[in-house]
Every structure is written in structure tokens, then in C-alpha cells.
Structure 1
Amino acid sequence: MSRVESAVGVAFAAEAPVLIVGAGAAGLCAALAAIEAGAEVVMLERDPVPRGSTALSAGLVPAAGTRFQAALGVADSPGLFAADIQRKAGGEADPATVDAVAAGAGPAVEWLADAYGLPFSVVDDFDYPGHSARRMHGLPSRSGAELVDRLRDAAERAGAALLTQATVTTLFAEPDGTVRGVEAERPDGGVERIGCRALVLACNGYGGAPDLVRRHIPEMEGALYFGHPGNRGDAALWGEALGAERRFMSGYQGHGSVAHPHGILISWAVIMEGGFQVDAKGERFSDETRGYSEQAAMVLKRAGGVAFDVFDERIAAVARQFEDFKQAEAAGAILSADRLEDLAALAKLPAGRLARTCSEVERLKASGGTDAFGRTFSAGQKLVAPFKAVRVTGALFHTQGGLAVDGSARVLRPDGTSLPNLFAAGGAAAGVSGSTAAGYLSGNGLLTAVVLGRLAGLAAARLV
């Protein structure tokens, strides 16, 4: 159970100048930055091997103005990126945080590439919803597992101490909110108390806590949870007990394309390159291009929880750059047929309705038209045999609400003052997506994990 107790009279068996709870992308970037700034670092991770939400993602970090973009002739800037974030969030996101992450993302990606050898490249063969430029940077496998593994290796080589299978349950604090240390439980029931001079919460959101999901995002109650089970809301609960402000607790990232029942993420490239979704009647039910996050609720409500992505081999070739899609093909989740009626039979969809839906989509593509849902189709994306389909559902990936932070990732009170030595990044911090799933711009999760993690590590090192 997450709790905060008085530090008065508490003895600690060891002390770390900078203590980091969580070793996903946020915690590992914080560790690297703090070590570079001259601080000793200890990371506490509940899993046997750091994985977290990062490993479940595609590992893509949006960043503007990088040399990787320049090499492809992509014109972009932090200002344009910030505007895209705010437009998707409906202007709700904190401007200081938006400016900090938009300005810091490019330098952070190049820092990881130059200092630690992470081989980033830009996804350059399709556009993500809401982005005005191609700015999604990923590693060769386009997987979050590769990202977290490379970051862990870099942190260990840099000298960070990593204690795994250590679940932090308690923070010990002074009356003014200064955190003096933590208590962590081991699998055998043993406990360790470790003191600190600065604490970085890089641990989790609350997608794995059904009671908190029910309270803050009721539309996703009972939905497939595609995040890490350790996301139990510890950071938000600790922060609340310390008097911190919590923001956007109803914000989250969903995804409307998780292969069902296989439980494998299907890249939204299958939609953005000219595919579409139908319900069990073979009919479309929404503008899929608004974003994969808000599409989760659309699939759950309008399609009854099950939909089908319909696309073709050309689009599948684009999607194969993602390890998840290749896994879905290997698992037999991707159906394929040379005729639409045969595809309908494989998917158990009404052949006539699917054919009419596809015909209407192709008519709109030919004219560059806009449908009744508001989707505008691009010419030149006609589907041709062999046709593909995959049965999907909507899922909750991770929450975007959390502790309010400033541009240095310091945790804030409701009056705007900062807690003395507490920092937050990643799922522990309030994101830049506003209060709804519709505010989530592709990559916002890893954006705040990497950039706020780096900023938190730098600021914590300066403090100590």
C-alpha cells in the first residue's frame, strides 16, 4: 500500500544522493542525466528486469528540429511541435510544460544518440495523426523493448546502481514535504530503508488500479488494459499525501487497434495509409484519422467492443517495420484473401455490406472526398488484392494525469510552489494531453518520459 509517514526518528540502512523510483524510460533518462551532472544515483525497480510501460510501446519519441529530420529534408521546429501538442489537447496543456518538452525533445534524442549510441531514425513512410511533420524517432526494431534495454545498458555502464525486485511502498517526509527516504519491499517479505537527498518519481500511472480507473476515467472501466500491471497509482497517492497538485486525472492514452484475442498492438499505419475500420456488420462507424487514442472508446461504444481493420498488402508492408505487426502475422491474427468476399468469410463479416463499405471508401478516395463522419480521404491509396483484415478491440494503454510539475520536473503544490526535493516524470507526472483521450498526440507518453526524465535528473543533481 502506498503511504507517506513521518521521517522523524527513522533510520536508513543506506543513502543515495539521488534516488529514483522506477527504471523505465523516464527513470533511466533521469539516471543518465544525474550521473552526467556529477551525482550518485540509485534506482529502485519492482520488476526483475526493467520493462514497464516503455517496453509495451512502439518506442517512438517525437522530437522536432533534429539532424535525423534534416537528413530527410523534414522541416520542423519546437514551436510547430508545441502548437501541435496544444491543438490536440484543445489548449488545456500547461504551456510551460509543453514548451519545455517541445524544446527539449530534439536535444534529448540527439543526446541519447551521441552519448550512448542509440541508433535513432525517423519514421518516414507515413504520417501520425495530429503531427504537422514527420518527427517520430525510433530504434531499428521500432519497439519499446529495444529502447528500455538500450537505456538500461547505458545506465549500468554509466555507473547507476539498479536494485530490482524492490517495490517502494512508503515515503518518509518532514512536515515541510522534504522527502528523507523510502521503504522498499522484497519478494521474500524483507524491507529496506534507503535515505536520499532528492527523490525522482518515475514509476507509474494508475491504469492498473481498477478503482482509480473507475473514479477518473469511467468510460474505460472494464476495458482491456494493455499497460504494465505495476501501474497502481503510487506516485499520485504519494503526491496527494505530500500536498502536491494533481492534474488531468481523466486524461489517458487509449488505442483502438489491439488484435483480439491475441493481445497484440496493430500499428495505426494500417489506417493512416488508407485503411479503415468496420464493425461486426461490415460498416464504418467513425472518423478513424482523428487519432488512435480516442478511437479506443469509439470501438468500445459504437462497435460493441470488436472492430476490424481493413487494409491491403501495400499497407501491410509499411506496418512490418514494427515488431508487433510481424508478431501479429506470425500468430495468425492478420487475415488475407485475394477477394473481398473471401476476406469477409474469413472474418465472419457480411460480404455484401463489407463490399459496399469498401466501394464507398474507394469512391471517396477517387474524389478526395469527405465522409459523413468528417474523414477526408487521400487520392492514390486504393486498396488492391491481396486484401487484409484483423479483428481488434479498444484498450487502455496508460493514464496521462498525475503530479503537476514545472519546467524542471519539480513537483508543485496547488499554490504553484515546489516541494523541496521531489521530482516527477513519465507516468508519475501530469502529461501534456489535457483531460481526455482525444488530447493525446502520438508519442506524448514517451515524450514526457524521456524529456522530463532528463530534466528531473539534471535538476535533482543540481539540488544535491
Structure 2
Amino acid sequence: MVSEVVRDGTKLFEFTVPVVVVGAGAAGLVAALAAREAGAEVLVLERDVVPRGSTALSAGLIPAAGTHWQKAAGIADTAEAFAADIMAKAKGEPDPDLVALVTREAGPAIEWLGARYGLPFSVVADFSYPGHSARRMHGLPTRSGEELIDALRGAAEAAGIDILCEATVTRLYADAAGRVTGLAFTRPDGSVDEVGCGRLILACNGYGGNKSLVREHIPSLADALYFGHDGNKGDALLWGQALGAATRHLPGHQGHGSVAHPVGILISWATITEGGIQVNLAGERFSNEATGYSEQAAEVLRQPDGLAWTVFDGRIAAITRQFEDFKRAEAMGAVITADDLPTLARRMNVPADTLTRTMAAVDAARAGTIPDAFGRDFTTTRPLAAPYCAVKVTGALFHTQGGLVVDATARVLDTSGHPLPNLYAAGGAACGVSGSKAAGYLSGNGLLTAVTLGRVAGAAAARPDDGLAASVA
């Protein structure tokens, strides 16, 4: 179905909803909760049978600084330190004002979801993610995106928010000034309905599911496994551009270098940060794995057959079992184990002498005897020990990070820097805080902007002043 914008200032609608949200992932549902709480009537349109989106495919972890969960765990952190980490990872590319906004609002946003809607967050306190100077990842008990999206859907339903599923938005209507007056959506039987809107929030993610746009903006991953939601066709980007919106950092994206092959299950990067390594099908390391899981996707895909093995041990596996995805991978037989390296190599079908030599070099680097050939610092990690574990993995594109440029109230800006009359964007629909490269992605940036910009957009769209105030705290 083709996304389009029809300019028709005379178009009339049988009924109009003050705030319409396109997309019922984390960004859309949080936006709807914020708008409803602010007193607005809200309609959420979702193409799936039930809300899932890319959120359900993620680990469901939201980074936030200065939360009461961190304080209870003895973790000192600030929004300023969080912002500095984001800017450092992305080499100063992101808009500093947007970075300041999302890092300032992240803590209050998840504490609001916890206190107001009962989402049982806790902080991941037993391992660190690359680039984060403090342990600030927060998630629900199973550490799964499925649990997060189900909890948000339950909260929205309890709040009386109308979520219309199996409704694929294909057309926006706008007047000559660029004000969106309504939209059309298609149902599974081919019927088309229309609804007017006072304000529109685009929360339908980026363009990862659109092969032609990926080939245009991220050619290195044009043929990569896409691990996001197939519905992410770039609708928000195309609609925004048709309305004159500015875009930024379109090549920016989150990849992941650890998707179990062939079962297609995300393997937590704790397998690497706690001291694990990656080797190719010949048993040789090929990069500094600790740099980040996003940029590691392309490194893995450059290996023969686009495959690698993540090698770790039983201690790390025990840490990683807090993630439902890892337990599922184990149950499906994707994780192999052995009591010694030669046996592990045989089960991996890699040369035993090569794998043993690779591990010896890592141990020497860890001991400080020789520098690591790829520049990784192993000295802060514990040596791997029996039982050894391995998972065959591939690299994948998770979601795009570039998108529509927004202001401090999540309003979409035009190419002159002025806000479009009544259009907002959150999550992957908006330009995020990762810059223009995969290496700029700091763990959790996707759900960070989904939750924070979702809340900001919802609260602003519900206000009669067209959202000119900048804070939701």
C-alpha cells in the first residue's frame, strides 16, 4: 500500500478525534497515555492484530538516569552523565538539545509508568552495557520487549484509550498550510475508513522494513537480516517529507551482531561485555567486539557466510538467563556447551587448534602479557572457564535512527526550522540521538526516544496551546 498525502483543504470528515496516534508500539502507547492523562480524547491506529511493533522484538530495556531503582541499588548517575555518554558514542553528531531533553525526561518517564500504571521496573545491576558510564538499563521482570508492550497495552486499555487494530493508515489529508486534517486507513477486507484529527502523532517507527529505502540510506545492510517489524515501511518519513518536514541522519541505525542463527533469537550482549568473544567459522576473532553491538552487525556480516560464533562460559550464561530470549534460545538448542575447548570446537565445527590458539591470545591480553590484536581491553573481565558455551549468530538491522526533525515538544519541524501546524513524531519516526552511523548507537537509544518523546508528544498534543511549553515533568 502506498503512503501518500492529499492536499485538500475542503475535505470533511464524519467525526474528528482531538489526538490521533499512528502506531501502537512503546512510543505510540506512551504518547496515548500522556495525552489521555492530560484530558484529551485519543485514538490509536495499529496495523497489527494486537499491538506489538519493534518493541516486542527488543529486550525491552530503557536507559534512564537518577531513578529510585538506581539509588536503591547504590548506583550513582545523573542525566548530565547520561547525555555525555550519548554524545561521546555518537562523536558529537546528535542535537545536544534533544539529547538533553531525552536524558532529562527518561527517569521521570519510567517512574511515572511505574507509579501511575504499575509497570514493575527494576535496574539491570549485574552487568554494564558498552558506552554507559553507569548501570542505567531498566526493564520489567522477564527483560523482554513482549512483556513491556503487553504492560503498556494493558495500561492504555485500563485508561479507556481506544486502540483500533488491523487499521493500516495509507493516506493523510492536509490543507494548504500543511495542517493535517485527517487520515484514511485500510482494513483487512480492503474497506477504507476516514477520521479527522486535531493533532497527529506519528509513532510508526522508521524505514527498516522498506528495502528500497534501506538500500538508499544504509547500503552496507541492504541484504542483511531485518530484525524489526515488517510494518516499518517508512510511512512517517514519507508523509513528513511530503508535508515539507526536515529530516536528519537518515543513515543512522541500530544493528546487532548477535542474533542466533538460524532460529532468529536475540542473544544479549552481556555475553560479550562480561568477557565473551566472537570468532568466525574458522575459529578466528575478527574485531573488537566490545565497541558496541550495533556496529558489530556489519563486522559479522563481513565474515564468510555472514556468520560468527559468540563464545562465553557458564558464569556468563547464568547472568544472561535473566533475559527471556536467552532462555528460549537455550530451550531450542541454539546454545551449545562443552567441558573443554577442543570439544566445544568440534561441536561448533571449527578447527580446534585455531580456537584454542585464539583463546590463548585472549588470555594473554587479559593478563597484560601482550596487547590485544584488535585493541580490546580484556583486563577488566574474568577469564572464561569450563563449562564453555557458544551460539552461532548473524548480524541484523534492528531499526533506523534517522528521521523527522522535532523540537522540544516533539513537534515536527519544516526545512526552515519552523514547526508544522499539528504534527508530532516520536520513537523511530523522529530523528534520534545516535547520529548518522551504526557506531553512534548507544544501547537503549531506541526505547529511550520512544518513551521520552512519546510522553512529550502526548502531553504537548493534548494542550490547547499547540504544545508551545517544553516540559512534561
Short-chain TM bin = over 0.9
Match in the other structure for 1:300: 301
8 Å CA contact 2:283–2:355 kept in 1: the answer is yes
Aligned-partner SS, 2:190: coil
8 Å CA contact 2:9–2:176 kept in 1: the answer is no
Offset at 1:200?
A: 0.2
Match in the other structure for 1:223: 224
Aligned-partner SS, 1:30: helix
- Identity among equivalent pairs (%): 64
Matched, 1:362 2:363: yes
Match in the other structure for 1:193: 194
Counterpart-to-counterpart distance in 1, 2:39 and 2:250: 35
Counterpart-to-counterpart distance in 2, 1:7 and 1:290: 50
Aligned-partner SS, 2:306: coil
Any gaps of 5 or more consecutive residues in structure 1?
A: none
8 Å CA contact 2:274–2:381 kept in 1: the answer is no
Counterpart-to-counterpart distance in 1, 2:7 and 2:411: 21
Counterpart-to-counterpart distance in 2, 1:383 and 1:366: 12
Offset at 1:374?
A: 1.3
Offset at 1:301?
A: 1.3
CA RMSD for the aligned pairs?
A: 1.0
Q: Deviations over 1:13-67 (max 9, x none)?
A: 3211000000100000001100111111000000010000000000000000100
8 Å CA contact 2:124–2:138 kept in 1: the answer is yes
8 Å CA contact 2:245–2:420 kept in 1: the answer is yes
Counterpart-to-counterpart distance in 1, 2:65 and 2:39: 28
Choose 359-368 or 205-214, whichever is displaced more: 359-368
8 Å CA contact 2:361–2:372 kept in 1: the answer is no
Counterpart-to-counterpart distance in 2, 1:268 and 1:300: 17
Distance 1:29 1:412, change over 3 A: same
Please report the TM-score for the alignment, with normalisation by the length of structure 1.
0.99
Aligned-partner SS, 2:206: coil
Matched, 1:161 2:173: no
Question: Mapping of 1:118-157 within 5 angstroms?
Answer: 118-157=119-158
Q: Deviations over 1:97-116 (max 9, x none)?
A: 11110000000010000000
Counterpart-to-counterpart distance in 1, 2:413 and 2:83: 22
Any gaps of 5 or more consecutive residues in structure 2?
A: 467-473
8 Å CA contact 1:13–1:192 kept in 2: the answer is no
Counterpart-to-counterpart distance in 2, 1:212 and 1:347: 36
Aligned-partner SS, 1:430: coil
Equivalent AA in structure 2 for residue 455 of structure 1:
V
8 Å CA contact 1:256–1:298 kept in 2: the answer is yes
Matched, 1:376 2:377: yes
Counterpart-to-counterpart distance in 2, 1:368 and 1:244: 55
Question: Mapping of 1:306-385 within 5 angstroms?
Answer: 306-367=307-368, 370-379=371-380, 381-385=382-386
Question: Mapping of 1:36-435 within 5 angstroms?
Answer: 36-302=37-303, 304-367=305-368, 370-379=371-380, 381-435=382-436
Counterpart-to-counterpart distance in 1, 2:377 and 2:370: 6
8 Å CA contact 2:167–2:186 kept in 1: the answer is yes
Offset at 1:380?
A: 5.4
- Moved >3 Å (runs of 4+): none
Counterpart-to-counterpart distance in 2, 1:173 and 1:264: 41
Q: Deviations over 1:257-295 (max 9, x none)?
A: 001111111100000001000011111010001000000
Distance 1:368 1:232, change over 3 A: farther
Q: Deviations over 1:360-380 (max 9, x none)?
A: 111222238641211000355
Please report the TM-score for the alignment, with normalisation by the length of structure 2.
0.97
Counterpart-to-counterpart distance in 1, 2:304 and 2:90: 25
Equivalent AA in structure 2 for residue 238 of structure 1:
W
Counterpart-to-counterpart distance in 1, 2:369 and 2:173: 61
Length, aligned pairs only: 464
Matched, 1:17 2:18: yes
Aligned-partner SS, 1:203: coil
Offset at 1:171?
A: 0.4
Q: Deviations over 1:211-240 (max 9, x none)?
A: 000000000011001010000000000000
Aligned-partner SS, 2:311: strand
